[in-house]
Amino acid sequence: MAIISADKAKAEYDVVIVGSGAGGGQSAYTLTLAGLKCLMLEAGRSYDPVNETPMFNTHDQAPLMGNPTPDKPFGFFDATVGGGWKVPGEPYTSVHATPQEEFKWWRPRMLGGRTNHWGRISLRNGEYDLKPRSRDGLGFDWPIGYADVDPYYTKVEMLIGVYGTNEGLENTPDSPPGVLLPAPKGRAAELLAQKHGKKLGIPIISIHRAVLTKHQDYKTIPAKLHPGNAWAQRIVAESMAERSACFWATDCGRGCNVRANYQSTTVHLPPALATGNLDIIPNAHVREVLVGKDGKATGISFIDKTTGKTVEVKGKAVILAAGACETVRILLNSKSNAFPNGVANSSGLVGKYIMDTVGSSLQGHVPALENLPPHNEDGAGGDHFYSPWWLYKEQKAGKLNFARGYHIELGGSRYMPGGNNPVPEDITRGSYGKKFKEDARRYYGSFVGFYSRGEMIPNENCFADLDPKVKDQWGIPVLRFHWKWSDHETNQAAHAETTFAQLIEAMGGTVRDDPHAKRGHNLENPGKIIHEVGGAIIGDDAKKSVCNAYNQTWDVKNLFLCDGAPFASNADKNPTLTIMALAWRACDYLAAEAKKGNL
């Protein structure tokens, strides 16, 4: 079994999986190692990061010195070889009252999905995050608690490799001893922020990221992941042994051909393919979930982009892991006599309560970072430090005008400059020749940025439905987004920007922002942080949710949602680790139920 064309698919599979990213990759890994025959459908093309990743190319080897363009917004060498903010032939629409509420939808179209390009920040949700309504009366509680997810967080961390430290902070869960890989040292700007953050009571600590800082222990970890299954242990050990540790030199956003960072294509899919239990069909644009007369899912209908033909594949069970909003699109378009409003939608909640991370930022200039001697600050390709939310007690006491918190990500380093001016023109003030070179050496690396990633509370005004008029190039109705930020989000962004200004000034710097601007004006558009979740929320009541505690849809017992769609809340923690943990948990349940004949 391997990557195949649509006409090579088998008559029926145990499970058809839609999507190849974090949720789809984890699902394929878990199920194939449990012995189930799986078919994976990917809307984009096949992608081989080992041979296609431009790890060592310099900016002068790229058009426009690698600067962003509309089709490559994160730079020419970014790993996203298909997809982006706009996908040809696949539009979407937005209903919004203000420009700041227009939904922006990032869609990868490539094997591995978003895992090829993401920050790899891997934070565990805590008990507050899973029971938020019990804490402040807002939003929804999950039907599971931290104890249910904890062992799966541990398994995912051991499998993908996550660096970081245990700090014992409130609602910032630690990992068991020996699970986390060593954290890299802080860079100059991070260390300076940490020093002055202490004076403000802001904890700045090592972040958790899915990058190998040392070679994985492939001799002992597989047995912990798959006890009693020597066959699975051997396959996983061989895959782990082929991964190398990070050598602190290239941008993780380009991908990693030594497999040091986590991507579905380098961690989940190789062992899944090695089982012989996985087929993958790329360029498969899913139209709908097929449902039989008994109300159970029978497979998937998709457009083969290489031929333009409609293809149907059969499965005893179906997993949608296409990304929260893409899964919503598929569910709503899966209409039948049994499900006139879309499959698994008896509650009427498919598409409702979509959330994204609340993002805001502020930049500053810090003279203490001027004239640093040249040194390699590439590091692990992303953040080494961050600040977890630290004001839980103040929030619980009602001292803040917003109900949920944010974490802080730090930017500020002497990365290899691209084709743009390395120093803002208001700093160089028109310098030229020798003076410009002196200014560049003096000021480059003396600029810092702070970025909030905060929790959004689900509300009835944020949802997606099918546009009644607009269709994609295959005649399939597209998603229409509706959005309205609440005061909780705008007040949170204002608090973050005020905090950032205090941090910059404590570091001896000045804020690089409009001094007359109202705090909160840097609130990013919904979708812009690329953390959208919800739309098919998890719950303990079929009338008030779409999925049960195992990501299994209430209406169709052999249909599971293993991406961010079932999220009942969107903590300030990045969602990918939780998507993988819940997918592993759901697939363990699916495999057990399949063996009992219950699906």
Domains of the chain by residue range:
1-51+98-164+208-347+532-599, 185-206+358-454+486-522
Q: Is the dihedral of CA 570, 571, 573, 577 positive or negative?
A: negative
* Strongest mean pLDDT among 57-71, 238-252, 296-310, 421-435: 296-310
**Tens digits of residue pLDDT in 77-121:** 999 999 999 999 999 999 999 999 999 999 999 999 999 989 999
Give CA 207 to chain center in angstroms.
16
Instruction: Report whether pLDDT(1) > 90.
Output: no
Tokens read off for 366: 């810090």
Helices (H) and strands (E) in the chain, counts: 15, 18
Band (pLDDT 50/70/90 cuts) for residue 515 is: low
Average pLDDT of every residue of the chain: 95
- The DSSP annotation for 513-582 comes to S-TTPPTTTTPPPTTTTS--B-SS-B-S-TTS-SB-TTSBBSS-TTEEE-SSTT-S-B-SS-SHHHHHHH
Band (pLDDT 50/70/90 cuts) for residue 250 is: confident
- At 443, the amino acid letter reads Y
Q: Is the dihedral of CA 578, 389, 355, 207 positive or negative?
A: negative
Taking the C-alpha atoms of residue 163 and residue 157, their distance in angstroms, rounded to an integer, is 9
Smallest CA-to-CA distance from 266 within 244, 249, 286 is with 244
Per the CB < 8 A criterion, the answer to whether 26 and 562 are in contact is yes
**Tens digits of residue pLDDT in 304-354:** 999 999 999 999 999 999 999 999 999 999 999 999 999 999 999 999 999
**Tens digits of residue pLDDT in 217-247:** 999 999 999 999 999 999 999 999 999 999 9
Q: Is 159 helix (H, G, I), strand (E, B) or coil?
A: helix
The burial class, CB within 10 Å (0-12 / 13-18 / 19+), for 140 is: buried
Of 1.20.59.10, 3.50.50.60, 3.40.50.2000, 3.40.50.1370, the CATH number of 1-51+98-164+208-347+532-599 is 3.50.50.60
Band (pLDDT 50/70/90 cuts) for residue 516 is: low
At residue 519, the pLDDT reads 77
Instruction: Report whether pLDDT(144) > 70.
Output: yes
Which whole-number Å values give the CA distances from 577 to 30, 387, 568, 573, in the listed order?
15, 18, 16, 9
Taking the C-alpha atoms of residue 591 and residue 586, their distance in angstroms, rounded to an integer, is 9
pTM (predicted TM-score)? 0.97
Smallest CA-to-CA distance from 70 within 91, 89, 80, 85 is with 85
Taking the C-alpha atoms of residue 24 and residue 361, their distance in angstroms, rounded to an integer, is 32
Name every residue whose Cβ is closer than 8 Å to that of residue 592 and which is 6 or more positions away in sequence: none
Instruction: Report whether pLDDT(418) > 90.
Output: no
Judged by average pLDDT, the poorest of 329-343, 354-368, 417-431 is 417-431
